[in-house]
Chains A and B, each alone.
Chain A
Amino acid sequence: MSFLTRRGWISAVVMALLAVLPPVFFLTGNAFYLDLATRLSILAIAAVSLNLILGYGGLVSFGHAAFVGLGAYAVGIPAHHWLYGGLDFLATTSGFVQVPLAVAVTALFALITGAVCLRTKGVYFIMITMAFAQMIYYLIVSIEEYGGDDGLVIDTRSELPLIDLDNPLQLFGLAYVSLLVAMLLVRMITRSRFGMVLQGAKGNEERMVTLGFNIYAYRLTAYVISGAMCGYAGALLGNFTTFISPEMMDWSRSGELMFMVILGGAATTLGPVLGAIAFIVVEEILSSFTIYWHLPFGLMLMGVVLFARGGLMGLLRGRREDGE
Chain B
Amino acid sequence: MNAVLDISGLNKSFGGIKATDDLNLSVRAGELHAVIGPNGAGKTTLISQLTGMQKPDSGRIRFKGRDITAMAPYSRAHLGIARSFQITSLILEMSVLDNIALALQAREGHSFRFIRPAHALTRLRAEALALLDRVGLADKADQPTVALSHGEHRHMEIAIALASKAELMLLDEPMAGLGIEESAQMVELLRGIKGRHTILLIEHDMDAVFALADRISVLVYGHIIATGSPDEIRGNEAVQHAYLGEE
Contact = CB atoms under 8 A, between A and B. Distances in A.
A192 B94 contact: no
Interface of B: 51, 53, 72-78, 82-83, 85, 89-94, 98, 101-103, 105-107, 111-119, 121, 160, 164
B70 to A, nearest CB: 16
Contact of A211 (B106, B113, B114, B118): B106
A295 B199 CA distance: 62
A197 interface: yes
Given A196-B111, A206-B89, A207-B90, A214 B164 contact: no
Contacts of B73: 209-210
Interface string A204-236: 101111111111001001000000000000000
A218 to B, nearest CB: 7
Contacts of B74: 209, 211-215
A322 B232 CA distance: 52
B117 A212 contact: no
Contacts of A211: 74, 77, 82, 102-103, 106, 160, 164
A18 interface: no
Contact of A206 (B53, B78, B112): B53
A191 to B, nearest CB: 4
Nearest to A214: B74
Given A210-B51, A211-B160, A193 B113 contact: yes
Contacts of B76: 212
Nearest to B116: A192
B96 to A, nearest CB: 13
B17 to A, nearest CB: 23
Interface string A310-324: 000000000000001
B78 to A, nearest CB: 5
Given A191-B118, A197-B111, 16 more contacts: A191-B117, A194-B112, A196-B98, A196-B102, A200-B91, A204-B91, A207-B160, A209-B77, A210-B73, A210-B77, A211-B106, A211-B164, A212-B75, A212-B78, A213-B106, A324-B93
A115 to B, nearest CB: 16
A195 interface: yes
Interface-centre pick from B76, B93, B101 (highest chain A CB count, 10 A):
B93
22 contacts: A188-B114, A188-B115, A191-B119, A196-B102, A203-B94, A204-B92, A206-B89, A207-B89, A207-B91, A208-B102, A209-B73, A209-B74, A210-B73, A210-B77, A210-B82, A211-B77, A211-B106, A212-B74, A212-B76, A212-B77, A213-B74, A324-B93
A57 to B, nearest CB: 13
A210 to B, nearest CB: 5
Nearest to B80: A212
A212 B106 contact: yes
A204 B156 CA distance: 15
Given A208-B102, A209-B74, A210-B51, A193 B111 contact: yes
A106 interface: no
A319 to B, nearest CB: 13
A193 B75 CA distance: 19
B94 A200 contact: yes
A208 B164 CA distance: 12
Given A192-B115, A194-B112, A203 B106 contact: no
A204 B90 contact: yes
A197 B107 contact: no
A191 B120 CA distance: 10
A90 interface: no
Nearest to B105: A193
